Amino acid sequence: MTVAIVGDIGGTHARFAVWRDNGLEQIEVLATADYSSPESALAAYCERAGLSLGAGSAVCLACAGPVSDGDFQFTNNHWRINRAAFCRALHIERLLLINDFAATALGVTLLEPNERLAVRAGHAQADRPVVVIGPGTGLGAANLLPKGAGEWQALPGEGGHVDLPIGSESEAELWLLLHRQFGAVQAEDVLSGAGLLALYAVVCQRNGQPAQHANAAQICAAALQGESLATNALEQFCVWLGRVAGNHALSLGARGGVYIVGGMVPKFADFFVRSGFAAAFADKGAMGDYLADVPVWLVTAPYPGLLGAGVALQQAG
């Protein structure tokens, strides 16, 4: 196989590219809200890229949500995929669907040194598992297991829906306010775009102040300008991401390292590196030493999911 089409489809954006000779070409990013179906979005991509339908006989789509053999329903948007109908509509011989974070996990194995930023120093053990986790429209998580000879197996999961951990009295107060809103509080309820807005709202509520911002982008901008409540919310966001990432690393034994991915954190990378993330990551009591030498990187490469979709096609043969 020399030419294929790869896609990475999340709740907000659908990214497509041509996969040729182990690299990405003609990358386009489309808004999922602008298209009624993944078929229409991919057809629009082909038109923009000057490709006829069926130009790539194989397509791999990294999709947000659990993938099975049946129809696929996206977790955070309105799209659905029936494999047979999709292939007929787009004149495709072969369609491979994989979980979006499994693809992102495979993608980080191809990163160049300048496509990741060190957040926490450590020593990555080449024969140990790796955690890949990151907030965006939702909170995604996947694991990498070493297969030997430089190859990795990606294990998708729904780790973004674990319970939100509580590590201090202050966090317990915020958790109670969140619980009144959500009931059972999942990590994704805070560690996502909508989650940051919910977190900011309860920070304001606890301080007896009205919320001034209506979305995550406004909160991040205000925090970077030093606005107190927005800064407190974004700092707590980083701390909770550290607690959740540390829990995943501890559960998996991820001494191969942890990668933070997704569209949110790179937008406030300097803040994130200076935040309480690293301390919260290893705040595990007697087991803190277990994580002492586990490195954490922030992925700055723009399209790790597309790279991983290409790797998945190669591995599938």
Residue 11 assigned as binding residue: yes
Separation CA 157–CA 140 (nearest Å)? 8
Q: List, as own/partner pairs, every contact residues 197-203 make where C-beta atoms lie below 8 angstroms and the sequence separation is at least 24, other chains included.
A: 199/174, 199/233, 199/236, 199/237, 199/240, 200/229, 200/230, 200/233, 202/174, 202/177, 202/178, 203/174, 203/229, 203/232, 203/233, 203/236
Find tokens 């996206």 and name the residue. Answer: 74
Find tokens 């990475």 and name the residue. Answer: 8
Among residues 16, 103, 4, which one has the least CA distance to residue 59? Answer: 4
Residue 27 assigned as binding residue: no
Task: Classify strands 3-9 and 58-63 as parallel, antiparallel or unpaired.
Answer: parallel
Residue 293 assigned as binding residue: no
Residue 122 assigned as binding residue: no
Residues at the binding site are: 7-12
Residues at the binding site for ATP are: 7-12
